[in-house]
Amino acid sequence: MKKLFRYLEKEYQKKTPGSAALFRRASRVMVRGGSHTLRLWRPYPFFLSSARGAEVVDVDGNRYLDYWQGHYANILGHNPEVIRRQVEPHFSRGAFHTGFESLPQLELAEKIIASLGQRGLKVRFTTSGTLAATYAVMLAMAYTGRERVLKIGGGWHGASPYLLKGVKYHPGTGFRSADSAGLPSDFSRKILVTRFNDAQHLSDVFRQHGKKLAAFILEPFIGVGGFLFCSREYLELARKLADKYGVVLIFDEIISGFRFCPSGLQTIYGLQPDISLFGKLIGGGQAVSAVVGRSEIMEGCDRPKAAGLRVQFEGGTFSSHEEYMRAGLAMLDYLEQNQDRVYPYLGEQAERLRRGIEKVFRDEGLEAVCTGYGNELVKDSSFFMVNFPQKKIAYRRPEDLWNPRRSSVVLREEALKLALLLNGVHVVHGGGCLSTVHTPEDVNRTIKAYAAAAHLFRRYL
Ligand SMILES: Cc1ncc(COP(=O)(O)O)c(C=O)c1O
């Protein structure tokens, strides 16, 4: 492994001297040289010069096909024309933040609710998934008068203090440990963690703790946990148990929302949570997230004084910025109007990519297994994550991907990343997602880049 990294880092440094210099400068004024750990890979990240469509260019002039696409927000690629056309005229008039209510906000709220096809829902906007998840938990606690929250091992809902447990896999404790310092010592006891897609475990947890739970939060398609779908039976059970024990069921659709159809993944499954979270692509590339929930729960942020304290859900200074709302509307309009083309195209090209990647590794005598494949309900998935099993396993749960004894995490997260950067492709967690502007030729080029990485792995490992 050492030899492989020595080669990869040396070649990367040769290619990116401008970024290396900027990173040294950044490290003097920013912790670890930046603001988001995922963007700060080893030995240092490249610095961006421009981004358009499927491609980004760094300050040294290197071009990369990008499958990170703004933390999966850019389903139409970077700087999409269809959205720019809608927002640019307003910017030329001076569309800075004003801090007033506006029609685009109302229209975006109506659009999201209409897409879900349910009655009695209310929306409130904020600016990040982290905030949306935090407010949702506060609403659930206020509604139920309870303090415990159940989440899935491997589930990431942003850096919400209520949910920073069972995110990272810790050798020894698995997904049972807290993931952040700087929180009250008893917070960890209030967060319970259950196993992804494990019906028996879920039933046991509810039997034992159900009456004390405020909320059960889960991603119907788990993102960083491994690009895996919850089964329909599991979600049905979650709904049933939440009803039985009076627990608020929260679907975090910040990744899955509008990714598989022009609405939440929940509409494909035919299941209704009490609260849904949306983010990422609902802002059309701007900072928008939404908490959408049953009116009686959402009203918790606006109850009469006599009923006690309300939930202080103020979306923030920049919440529902008029141009963010306009960009979000343009995005959702586009997806709705072009759904027959967009989703099948993404699904078809991603399928080709996943199969192609597995094949080029096989050709080098190495095993790579992709997750992100669709299932019997979701035909078109644009996601792919490339995993290197340490032993024969089926990738069914986050622990299969994140336990280093089952999967080589270093190879996926670090070595593959650099090997692909050397070949003009940028990925996170060994893969990412397609956008509508990744062409079939881009997919071919990407498979070739993975083949070159596979070749390097065989040579140096
Ligand atoms: C499922 C999920 N929920 C919440 C978040 C947090 O969103 P944000 O990064 O906008 O705070 C993320 C971010 O990646 C996410 O994937």
- Asked if residue 400 has pLDDT above 90, the reply is yes
User: What are the residue ranges spanned by the domains of the chain?
Assistant: 2-79+340-460, 81-337
Tell me if 157 CB under 6 Å of ligand 1.
yes
Q: What is the pLDDT of residue 229?
A: 98
Predicted local confidence at residue 346, as pLDDT: 98
Q: Is the pLDDT of residue 78 over 80?
A: yes
Token duo for residue 261: 């159809």
Q: Is the CB of 223 under 6 A from ligand 1?
A: yes
pLDDT at 307: 82
Q: Is 396 helix (H, G, I), strand (E, B) or coil?
A: coil
Q: How far apart are CA 266 and CA 251, in angstroms?
A: 8
* Residue 438 pLDDT: 98
Q: For residue 343, is pLDDT > 80?
A: yes
Ligand 1 center from residue 281 Cα (angstroms): 11
Rounded distance, CA 205 to CA 56, Å?
Answer: 46
Is it the case that residue 191 has pLDDT exceeding 90? yes
pLDDT at 185: 85
Amino acid at 115: S
pLDDT (tens digit per residue) in 3-30: 999 999 999 999 999 999 999 999 999 9
**Dist. CA 20 → ligand 1 center (Å):** 28
Q: Is the CB of 279 within 6 Å of ligand 1?
A: yes
Q: Which residue has the higher pLDDT, 173 or 94?
A: 173
Average pLDDT, the chain: 96
What pLDDT was estimated at residue 303?
A: 82
CA 159, 163, 165 angle in degrees (round to 5)? 100
Q: Are 355 and 311 in contact (CB under 8 A)?
A: no
What is the best residue among 68, 156, 196 to mutate for testing ligand 1's pocket, by most ligand atoms within 8 Å of CB? 156
Q: Is 152 in the pocket of ligand 1 (CB under 6 A)?
A: no
From 216, 226, 298, 292, select the one nearest 254 (Cα to Cα). Answer: 292
Tell me the CA–centroid distance for residue 130 and ligand 1, in Å.
6
CATH class of 81-337: alpha beta
pLDDT at 392: 87
Residue 69 in this model has a pLDDT that exceeds 80: yes
Instruction: Give yes or no for residue 276 having a pLDDT over 90.
Output: yes
Ligand 1 centroid to Cα of residue 21, in Å, is 30
The reply to whether domains 2-79+340-460 and 81-337 share a CATH topology is no
First to last CA, the chain: 6
Mean pLDDT value of segment 136-153: 98
Q: What is the mean pLDDT of residues 273-282?
A: 98
Q: What DSSP line would sit under 134-202, residue for residue?
A: HHHHHHHHHHHT--EEEEETT----S-GGG-BS-S-BTTTBT-SB--SSS-TTHHHHEEEE-TT-HHHH
- Residue 220, ligand 1, Cβ within 6 A: no
Residues whose CB falls within 8 Å of the CB of residue 86, separated by 6 or more in sequence, listed in order: 326, 327, 329, 330
Which pLDDT belongs to residue 304? 80
Whether the pLDDT of residue 51 is over 80: the answer is yes
User: Which of 357, 406, 408 minimizes the C-alpha distance to 384?
Assistant: 357
For residue 54, is pLDDT > 90? yes
pLDDT above 80: residue 187: yes
d(CA 196, CA 201): 9
pLDDT the model gives residue 406: 95
- For residue 95, is pLDDT > 80? no
What is the CA(156)–ligand 1 centre distance, in A? Answer: 7
Distance (angstroms) between ligand 1 centre and the Cα of 14 equals 34
164 pLDDT higher than 80: yes
- The three-class DSSP label of residue 211 is helix
- At 218-267, the pLDDT tens digits run 999 999 999 999 999 999 999 999 999 999 999 999 999 999 999 999 99
Neighbour-count burial for 246-270, b at 16+ CB within 10 Å, e otherwise: ebbbbbbbbbbbbbbbbbbbbbbbe
Average pLDDT over residues 299-322: 92
**455 contacts 366 by C-beta, under 8 angstroms:** no
- Residue 96: per-residue pLDDT: 86
For 2-79+340-460, CATH number?
3.90.1150.10
